[in-house]
Amino acid sequence: MDGKIRVLVVDDSAFFRRHLSKILSAHELIEVVGTAADGKAGVAAAHELKPDVITMDVEMPVMDGITAVKQIMAEVPTPILMLSSYTYSGAEATLDALQAGAVDFIPKQSNGTSNSMKVLAAMLVQKVLAVTKNRVLKSARLTPTQTTPSRSRESPQVVQKGGYGLVVIGASTGGPVAIQNLISSLPGSFPVPLVLAVHMPGNFTKAYAERLDGLCKLNVKEAVDGDRLAPGKALLAPGGKQLSFTRKGADTFVCVNEGKKEETYKPSIDLTFESAAQVMHDSVLAVVLTGMGADGCKGAGILKQKRSTVWSQDEASCVIYGMPQAVEKKGYSDMVLPLSEIGPALVKAV
């Protein structure tokens, strides 16, 4: 990468503008080129400075963050990271911002402790580096995705129709809108239960599940311990917890627990995939969508050992081609598809 990553910080709090600027400027690859105290000033600064990435607060005077995102994406498209509160209303606003075109979000810790600030700093730098890695903007907006030819591996599972008892979908960065896009294309009569796992905080997944339920023909809810898998029903793994499976007679149920303190991801897509493999064996169809890192890769390998099927999203339609790339590089992907083709392919497969 030539030169530093140029960042614009937009936040109505003078404290957060200084704090975020200090965090970002401390990294050798990042330069803060400007700040703005409201959305209108942020839009003007985006035009003037043409930064590589923008951090954007949600609630601001003069012009709120969601309106600013819409205007920036329409006039001078730039990767935008939202800074949002942990509240339910903050979650709803963040989801609106993601649909408007923001690529990802970072929840602001409400307690202001030293540890929470360290967590914020680490997440902020990591995500700024990730979304600008290739200096190519890939909007997460809910619009038709770029279509590229699908690729498949020669495998009995690819051509097999039916025989699936579960579709489980994992995602991270760019995932909330990608999943919304995907499952909105599925009919209410979809004959196989779905489980969704996306890296989101606990206070966000309830609002996200309610949004999906209102937009989709499927019945979508945030999973609770003991929920039974059923056709036409999608269960969303709650943020901050782990989701696995158990079998009782002919029925399969989800187990939701706090997990272990040292676990990096909650929910962990690896853990959910692995549990699906152990309980459902060869009847799982797993889909790995856009996301930073490699969560889901280990679990995909265990699914393949059990002769289940794994699909992954293609690079062109990903916001971050981390998780799907890890699965594809290991040779676990039976099919690599653009996001726009995954829903129709699922309907044909089951």
The per-residue pLDDT for 276 is 98
Mean pLDDT of the 16-29 span:
93
CB atoms within 10 A of CB 49: 17
CATH placement of domain 151-349: 3.40.50.180
The per-residue pLDDT for 150 is 45
What is the pLDDT confidence band of residue 147, given thresholds at 50, 70 and 90? very low
Q: Output 117 or 50, whichever has higher pLDDT.
A: 50
Q: What is the pLDDT of residues 80-105, one digit of tens each?
A: 999 987 666 778 888 999 989 999 89
The DSSP secondary structure of 1-66, one letter per residue, reads --SPEEEEEE-S-HHHHHHHHHHHHTSTTEEEEEEESSHHHHHHHHHHH--SEEEEESS-SSS-HH
Q: Output 166 or 136, whichever has higher pLDDT.
A: 166
The per-residue pLDDT for 211 is 93
What is the pLDDT confidence band of residue 121, given thresholds at 50, 70 and 90? confident
CA dist 219 and 196 (Å) reads: 12
Mean pLDDT of the 121-135 span:
80
Tokens 């800074």 found at: 83
In 3D space, the residue among 204, 184, 203 whose CA is nearest the CA of residue 194 turns out to be 184
- Name the pairing type of β-strands 335-337 and 151-152: antiparallel
What is the pLDDT confidence band of residue 199, given thresholds at 50, 70 and 90? very high
CA dist 109 and 122 (Å) reads: 13
CA dist 318 and 184 (Å) reads: 18
| Global confidence as pTM | 0.86
Q: Which two tokens stand for residue 184?
A: 């909105």
CA dist 93 and 65 (Å) reads: 9
Q: What is the pLDDT of residues 11-20, one digit of tens each?
A: 999 998 999 9
C-alpha distances out from residue 171 to 24, 156, 318, Å: 26, 25, 10
CB atoms within 10 A of CB 148: 15
The per-residue pLDDT for 86 is 66
Q: Output 189 or 1, whichever has higher pLDDT.
A: 189
Q: What is the pLDDT of residues 211-227, one digit of tens each?
A: 999 999 999 999 999 99
Q: What is the pLDDT of residues 58-71, one digit of tens each?
A: 889 999 999 999 99
The per-residue pLDDT for 89 is 72
Residue 157 has pLDDT above 60, yes or no: no
Q: Which residues, 6+ apart, have CB-to-CB distance to 262 below 8 Å?
A: none
Q: What is the pLDDT of residues 303-332, one digit of tens each?
A: 999 999 999 999 999 989 999 999 999 999
- Going from N- to C-terminal start, the domains of the chain cover 5-131, 151-349
Q: What is the pLDDT of residues 161-193, one digit of tens each?
A: 668 999 999 999 899 999 999 999 999 999 999
The per-residue pLDDT for 135 is 44
**Three-class SS of residue 112?**
coil
- Name the pairing type of β-strands 309-313 and 335-337: parallel
Mean pLDDT of the chain: 88
Mean pLDDT of the 1-15 span:
88
Torsion of CA 183, 187, 191, 194, to 10 degrees: 20
What is the pLDDT confidence band of residue 137, given thresholds at 50, 70 and 90? very low
Identify whether 238 is preceded by a cis peptide bond (ω within 30 of 0): no
Q: What is the pLDDT of residues 36-45, one digit of tens each?
A: 999 999 999 9
The DSSP secondary structure of 308-325, one letter per residue, reads -EEEEE-GGG-SSBSHHH
The per-residue pLDDT for 84 is 83
Catalytic residues: 172, 199, 295
What is the pLDDT confidence band of residue 208, given thresholds at 50, 70 and 90? very high
What is the pLDDT confidence band of residue 153, given thresholds at 50, 70 and 90? very low
Q: Which two tokens stand for residue 59?
A: 């609630």
CA dist 301 and 308 (Å) reads: 10
What is the pLDDT confidence band of residue 233, given thresholds at 50, 70 and 90? very high
Q: Output 3 or 174, whichever has higher pLDDT.
A: 174
Judged by average pLDDT, the poorest of 142-146, 281-285, 301-305, 327-331 is: 142-146
CATH superfamily of 5-131: Response regulator (3.40.50.2300)
Q: Output 263 or 229, whichever has higher pLDDT.
A: 229
Give the side-chain half-sphere CA count within 13 A for 102.
Answer: 27
